[in-house]
Amino acid sequence: MRKLRNVGFTAAAAGCLLAASGTALAVGGKTQPVSVSFALTVDGKEVGCAAPLHNIGSSRLEAKLHDARFYVHGVKLIDAEGARTPVSLAQNDWQYADLALLDFKDARGGNTPCTETTPAKNTTVTGAAPAGAYVGLEFSVGVPVEGQAEGKTVQLNHSSTETSAPPLDIAVMAWSWQAGRKFLLVEVDPANFVTRADGSKSRSWLVHLGSAGCKGNPATGEIVSCLRENRFTVTFDRFDPKTQRVELDLTRLFEATDLAVDKGGAVGCMSGPDDPECSPVFAALGLNLSESAPGARDAGKQTKAGVSPVFKIGAAEPAKVAGAEQ
């Protein structure tokens, strides 16, 4: 099982991190540690892997959470004037370059523990920023095409899981085309399975968000371009990481979706513009699914800058869950 490296910070260590990651500060500039907590919720209650999900979806089913993970990048702190200051992320098994993976696949809240081959959960983004007074938070969901690590440009989204550094080395988070990544993965298991258009049954209803309509083969050195990027930014003008956390609201994600039925295409939504299940999911994420969407500016672009209805602010819960691996 993957083990999370120690991400404890001191001011001196944070300063070393900033220098190593290539973030320039004025000579003698002070830094402060940054830690932002994330959680999954259903009806306002925190959930984790195998946890029961009550009244989920438009038909208010009983289900269990099978898996939930997503990548974030571009984490910034916002001051009272609205200026953004990038957070330099700690480099560890969960964070690389400007990218972090949040992983909620653990035994919290459920009776079925997760398997030995599943990565241990990670629900916190850590790093450092120039010392200052900050009042808000901003981050983006997705994997950038490239980033900076150890003073050089590295490929992030379209890269091999076998040769990439953690957390880009997880096969379940990879697409099978153009070596891209699933930006956000949420899988739930309805109590009575999912009935497909042909009458067959499926165990899980899937949400796999990633760039689509991509061209180019990264294995041969070609530049990959994607018609629908499907990345989005979340902005909270007021956010205090000491007392608050970021919550992904699964009730909101599935409120217009019948999880007992799949009308065509992949089971659930795998970012296909013609998949009938994707329209309500993309609306909940705050993304335009296609050019024909009402009010759409561009397919794969955010409907309203900084707004994703599924993300909200909740009260931080500092207490650890008994028995859950940290």
Q: What would the pLDDT profile of 234-288 be if each residue is shown by its tens digit?
A: 999 999 999 999 999 999 999 999 999 999 999 999 999 999 999 999 999 999 9
- How far apart CA 172 and CA 17 sit, in angstroms, is 30
User: Which is higher by pLDDT, 45 or 114?
Assistant: 45
Give the count of domains, the chain: 1
Model pTM score: 0.86
- How far apart CA 211 and CA 227 sit, in angstroms, is 8
Is position 97 within any domain? yes
Phi and psi, residue 17, nearest 5°: -60, -45
Sign for the CA dihedral angle at 305, 18, 174, 268 comes to: negative
Confidence at residue 135, expressed as pLDDT on a 0 to 100 scale: 98
Query: Which ranges of the chain does DSSP label H, i.e. alpha helix?
Result: 11-21, 250-253, 278-285
Instruction: Output DSSP code: residue 173.
Output: G
- How far apart CA 48 and CA 304 sit, in angstroms, is 29
Is position 6 within any domain? no
Cis before residue 167, ω within 30 degrees of 0?
yes
Instruction: Output DSSP code: residue 193.
Output: -
**Whether residue 322 has pLDDT greater than 60:** no
pLDDT tens digits, one per residue of 69-120: 999 999 999 999 999 999 999 999 999 999 999 999 865 555 556 666 666 6
Instruction: Output DSSP code: residue 6.
Output: P
Is position 224 within any domain? yes
Is position 21 within any domain? yes
Question: How much helix, strand and coil, in percent to the nearest 5, is found in the chain?
Answer: 10, 35, 55
User: Which is higher by pLDDT, 222 or 200?
Assistant: 200
Length of the chain: 326
User: Residue 178's domain spans which residues?
Assistant: 11-315
**What is the arithmetic mean of pLDDT over 151-160?**
92
CA distances from 321 to 48, 87, 110, 229 (A): 11, 27, 12, 36
Neighbours of 220 (CB within 10 A): 6
User: Which is higher by pLDDT, 248 or 178?
Assistant: 248
Is position 23 within any domain? yes
Is position 230 within any domain? yes
- Cβ distance 126 to 62 under 8 Å? no
Sign for the CA dihedral angle at 278, 174, 23, 245 comes to: positive
CA distances from 146 to 65, 76, 86, 233 (A): 31, 18, 17, 17
User: Which is higher by pLDDT, 32 or 299?
Assistant: 32
User: Which is higher by pLDDT, 20 or 125?
Assistant: 125
**What is the arithmetic mean of pLDDT over 207-222?**
83
Give the Cα-Cα-Cα angle 3, 8, 12 (nearest 5 degrees): 140
Is position 56 within any domain? yes
Is position 322 within any domain? no
124 DSSP β-pair partners: 37
Confidence at residue 5, expressed as pLDDT on a 0 to 100 scale: 40
